[in-house]
Amino acid sequence: MKAVRLLAAVTALALLGGCADDAAAPPAGGNGIGGELTVFAAASLTESFTRIGRDFEAAHQGVQVTFSFAGSSALATQINQGAPADVFASAAPAPMATVTEAGNADGEPATFVRNQLVIAVPQGNPDRVTGLSDLTRPGAKVALCAEQVPCGAAARTVLDAAGVALTPVTLEQDVKAALSKVRLGEVDAALVYRTDVRAADAEVDGVEFPESAGAINDYPIVLLKDATNKPTARAFLEYVRSDTGQAVLTEAGFQAP
């Protein structure tokens, strides 16, 4: 009898152990899609990719998407230094090129959206900014992204093309940081993406200017060579480029590639 009771206890423990393992690692579906997915994405994709991630999880039971949002150049450096990630979405081709040239991409990157700069100003545009030349007024405080990151490179391109000599009071490492300077009242204006102003809702206004058409950024996305969940990563890439994913991005203000 004792042997029977001992066997039952061992069996129950074994079943409980099995359940714990299942909870820790969601099973993949019949198509191999499941488990955890890590996506490195440009800061300007924060709101739209967060929504796409939730939708993707809802469409694929057992998938858990984790994002790392930051400046594209910083993310590319992290990937090349061995940071674990399955997918990389950059705000410009240059940071993506550093990843592909290092041999860390699995396949060719594909452009999935484009983005354009606007002048972010406080709500109501109290300084009546209408174009780039207004940013050079005496005493005007302007934030730019550093030229090493895509929003900064685009800003330098439009300023040079327009012949506007602008000295910013701060150079930020990603577009969200530059926009925050306006939201916090620390600067009078910043050059950021149209999508970031839209995501800020009523906190800031965006002033369109024609020179920005000459520096529209292409956003490439790619599967990474050392991805540990390639079936799910490929499904995510397809989802971003699907009509459903593109609708989210268009609503956020991105342009079709």
CATH number assigned to the domain comprising residue 151: 3.40.190.120
Residue 91 tokens, joined:
């705000």
Are residues 107 and 122 both part of a single domain?
no
User: If pLDDT is split at 50, 70 and 90, which confidence band does 21 have?
Assistant: very low
Instruction: Return the percentage of the chain with pLDDT > 90, whole number.
Output: 85
pLDDT value at 27 more than 70: no
- Burial degree of 151 (CB within 10 A; 0-12, 13-18, 19+): buried
C-alpha distance across the termini of the chain, in Å? 72
93, two tokens: 């081709």
Examine residue 25 and state whether it is found in any structural domain, yes or no. no
Q: Which residues pair with 170 in a beta bridge?
A: 143
Q: What is the mean pLDDT of residues 115-137?
A: 96
Q: Do 175 and 204 have their domain in common?
A: yes
Looking at the structure, do residues 101 and 156 belong to the same domain, yes or no? no
Calculate helix-pair angle for 150-162, 93-101, nearest 10 degrees.
130
Q: Do both 177 and 91 map to the same domain?
A: no
pLDDT bin (cut points 50, 70, 90) of residue 10 is very low
Give residue 109's domain range: 35-114+218-252
What is the rounded average pLDDT of the residues 154-162?
Answer: 95
Model confidence band, residue 3 (pLDDT cutoffs 50, 70, 90): very low
Min mean pLDDT across 11-20, 27-36, 174-183, 230-239 is at: 11-20
Contact residues for 16 (Cβ-Cβ < 8 A; gap 6+):
none
pLDDT digits (tens, 9 = 90+) for 193-241: 999 999 987 789 999 999 999 999 999 999 999 999 999 999 999 999 9
143: closest CA among 97, 184, 92? 184
Residue numbers in the known binding site are: 44, 72, 175, 193
Domain shared by 245 and 233, yes or no = yes
Q: How many separate domains does the chain show?
A: 2
Binding-site positions for molybdate: 44, 72, 175, 193
Q: Which helix (H) or strand (E) holds 237?
A: helix 230-241
